[in-house]
Structure 1
């Protein structure tokens, strides 16, 4: 779930258009030199110097996602959404005007694992200083005011009501609830209409006080600043936050260990279909083999087996896909599609047959084509400051090795057919998967 706090208005637009045009010509780095250290208050810092553009991107991620909601489902998302709306010295309009005047961008997002706040600014000294000063106060001096809380709560309830009648949302929420049971991942990130009723201004303040602390933070910095400047920036951002304590680890979820089928009647011409089970956690040693295999099965669009079998040969769908979603603990593996109600059962049959066939064998030519595509396209994954920021934030938050961006393509190159088949048959159990259909499958 992403929350936009402020965007660039007309006065800052000219400078940002210049930056955007420069981004288009920014070529991929051969290597990304990631450096890491801790601030004096215990926050982890991830840093990449990128001098190609006169800009700075920063993301501060806290282990404060919806898995930390406890019984107040939605409190993490609400806290993240209100973070930075006002401080003790600046009201909401003044915060907005400050960023508008310098053409900076600020935003926030929340997932099951993390909540983050980010900023993008030009590195002209007077602009960057104002941006960083204000950004620091948003992190350490956010004020949760009742008028803003009441307004955003009303917006949240309207959004939840709208989502409650969307078949894709119904399918997704049923999937997480069924796969994860009583685990902290089970409930929706935004909570439910019933659960948000229990969220109060005091519960937001308590959540913020507990989880928005230096020991629970990862600061990622990419841009036209040297290491000494980056260290100064990191210390500045944490200077007024309490050290606090890092959030405890999450328990591993338990697999359902049997096939389960759920059909939810929904008045629609389409059936929304998911086939899922627990996958792996972020950093699992089998990830490279599973990642390559997933691109063969359903993660590469028109080059995948599922697209060939379900769409191209039979015309049952417009799109079909599969993916792993690694988390701090095992995230889901999912195959998804939507199709006409009359085609739903046939699509299910073809998906299962394709998965079974893939687990037995696939061609060497298919493997090599996928590997060539992944390795050849990898530079495009790190061809902008924003993409690098996303990667190093992930690396820092999940404790992956600093050479991950060099190491992972090498792992892909070394993956064999035997590696893929062994990993997939170890982790994916076709007879123990959850099937969900939302619609009127005939």
Structure 2
């Protein structure tokens, strides 16, 4: 054989992985059309598991989440985020480079994310052996055997503090952070996920390890699996992960937030544009009125150019490039908010038009527009879970928030059944213009008595 054609076994394996992964990544954008059959069970250690078989592609996506979001920070804002971001950088057996090389050599992708409610770790791998088992072993090791070396922590502390400072210099990001703080006041949701710079300066490896040992436990965990696997394979995978975790105890409930005092606050920020947010507390995930609130918001400000806010604020008056509204339901009541950016000398007019549009919407809205927006939402519904990673996201939501397993079928049915009167009744019950908190960050030009 020609020496140029001779490859060592490891290089042949790496080339095979690369070729297979490239082809599969191109296929991941193709719809997953099989009917979803969500299976659920608990591991022996108490972790909740949700599984959907998708045999169309020889690929597996798995997510391990913990009820360990920034709402668990307590008196140390930033603790959950710092802990979550350190996972995957060191174990008792491997350093950061060895972990990164391990995933790369297997053609696997590891990611992490921290939000207010949860911390999530995901893995994407081919289902071909021995790649799958090796990838799962490494995934489990980096989470179940995490360490927090002081030198790496200090390096990441510097990076995090720099990123936080840079974010505060971007008007839109700073305004959003301030809005959450004002809306939730002393509630855990009011703390920025990234945390407080003074606290982050003082965090130690012992702080991170204590948080990790309290919350990264089986009783506080959920495992979601989507891919070309049988249920018996999924059960074996979930059990292998769960038994590597300490059993621990489930996190306690977080408090119910209190409504904010309504009114307008202006925060000075040197910029040509004013960042504007107005809103109030909405509803928690799973609230029975969410269907009607979601559909109504789709018409008001959640559907881009088809929304009433875009029509009134942008199309008719040219005050903004973009305006939006949304609900963000969480474990406890999430926010409902309207957002836009406008020239400083147009901020007051934009605020007036937003409030008038909301009042008009609550009074009544056009039947034809309502029918169109409903069909727009229903027509695009299947695209919300047409790939493995989208399905994984819904499994996370369904499991963590204790939604019914038929949620993806029940949601469009509930939307279809809604009448205009149902939407108006829900909005009038939950959204009260007199109770809105409004924030302007910039140098808005306002009348002396706005």
- TM-score calculated relative to the size of structure 2: 0.94
User: Within the alignment, does 1:25 sit opposite 2:18 as a pair?
Assistant: no
Distance in 1 of aligned mates of 2:293 and 2:176: 22
Q: CA deviation at 1:412?
A: 0.6
Report matched runs for 1:228-307 at 5 Å: 228-256=232-260, 258-307=261-310
User: Within the alignment, does 1:85 sit opposite 2:89 as a pair?
Assistant: yes
> Is the alpha carbon distance of 1:421 and 1:238 closer, same or farther for their aligned partners in structure 2, counting shifts above 3 Å?
same
Please give the per-residue CA displacement for 1:323-351, whole angstroms capped at 9, x wherever unaligned.
00001000100000001111111110100
> Is the alpha carbon distance of 1:197 and 1:63 closer, same or farther for their aligned partners in structure 2, counting shifts above 3 Å?
same
Report matched runs for 1:184-203 at 5 Å: 184-203=188-207
Distance in 1 of aligned mates of 2:44 and 2:20: 35
Report matched runs for 1:21-170 at 5 Å: 21-29=26-34, 31-170=35-174
Q: CA deviation at 1:255?
A: 0.4
1:16 is aligned, of 14, 17, 21, to: 21
2:388 is aligned, of 382, 385, 389, to: 385
Distance in 2 of aligned mates of 1:153 and 1:73: 14
SS at match of 2:354: helix
Unmatched runs of 5 consecutive residues or more in structure 1? 1-8
How many residue pairs align between the two structures? 432
Q: CA deviation at 1:252?
A: 0.6
* Aligned counterpart, 1:405: 408
- TM-score calculated relative to the size of structure 1: 0.96
SS at match of 1:339: strand
SS at match of 1:72: coil
Q: CA deviation at 1:10?
A: 9.4
Please give the per-residue CA displacement for 1:22-59, whole angstroms capped at 9, x wherever unaligned.
22333434x31111000000000000000000000000
Distance in 1 of aligned mates of 2:269 and 2:105: 49
SS at match of 1:358: helix
Distance in 2 of aligned mates of 1:261 and 1:392: 39
1:335 is aligned, of 312, 333, 338, to: 338
1:430 is aligned, of 433, 442, 448, to: 433
Q: Is the radius of gyration larger for structure 1 or structure 2?
A: 2
SS at match of 1:322: strand
SS at match of 2:372: helix
CA RMSD of aligned residues (A): 1.3
Q: CA deviation at 1:13?
A: 4.6
User: Within the alignment, does 1:419 sit opposite 2:391 as a pair?
Assistant: no
Is the CA contact (8 Å cut-off) linking 2:32 and 2:388 kept in structure 1? no
* Aligned counterpart, 1:179: 183
Distance in 1 of aligned mates of 2:30 and 2:56: 10
Is the CA contact (8 Å cut-off) linking 1:378 and 1:409 kept in structure 2? yes
Q: CA deviation at 1:170?
A: 2.1
Distance in 1 of aligned mates of 2:124 and 2:421: 44
Distance in 1 of aligned mates of 2:277 and 2:417: 31
Greater CA deviation, 93-102 or 321-330?
93-102
Please give the per-residue CA displacement for 1:219-275, whole angstroms capped at 9, x wherever unaligned.
00000010000000000011121110000111110002x421111111111110000
Distance in 2 of aligned mates of 1:67 and 1:378: 31
Is the CA contact (8 Å cut-off) linking 1:306 and 1:351 kept in structure 2? yes
SS at match of 1:118: strand
Distance in 2 of aligned mates of 1:222 and 1:75: 30
Please give the per-residue CA displacement for 1:353-389, whole angstroms capped at 9, x wherever unaligned.
0000000100111111111111110110111000000
